[in-house]
Chains A and B, each alone.
Chain A
Amino acid sequence: GNSVTQMEGPVTLSEEAFLTINCTYTATGYPSLFWYVQYPGEGLQLLLKATKADDKGSNKGFEATYRKETTSFHLEKGSVQVSDSAVYFCAQDGGATNKLIFGTGTLLAVQP
Chain B
Amino acid sequence: GAGVSQSPSNKVTEKGKDVELRCDPISGHTALYWYRQSLGQGLEFLIYFQGNSAPDKSGLPSDRFSAERTGGSVSTLTIQRTQQEDSAVYLCASTRGETQYFGPGTRLTVL
Binding site for B on A (CB under 8 A): 32, 36, 42-46, 49, 51, 89, 91, 93-94, 97-105
Interface residues of B (CB under 8 A from A): 31, 33, 35, 42-45, 48, 50, 56, 59, 91, 93, 95, 98-105
**CB-based contact A100/B35 at 8 Å:** yes
Query: Chain B binding site: helix, strand, loop or mixed by DSSP?
Result: strand
Indicate if the CB atoms of B98 and A97 lie closer than 8 Å.
Answer: no
Which residues on the A side are within 8 Å of B95 (C-beta)? Answer: 98
**Chain A, Cβ-Cβ closest to B41:** A104
- Report A-chain residues with C-beta under 8 Å of the C-beta of B31: 98
Given contacts A100-B100, A102-B43, contact A44 B33 (CB under 8 A): no
A103 CA to B103 CA, complexed, in Å: 19
Interface SS majority for chain A: strand
Q: Is the CB of B42 within 8 A of A43?
A: no
A92 to chain B, nearest CB (A): 12
Distance of B6 from chain A, by nearest CB (Å): 9
B99 touches A46 (CB 8 A): yes
Q: Within the complex, which residue of A51, A102, A105 is in contact with B98, where a contact is CB–CB below 8 Å?
A: A51
In the complex, are the beta carbons of B43 and A99 less than 8 A apart?
Answer: no
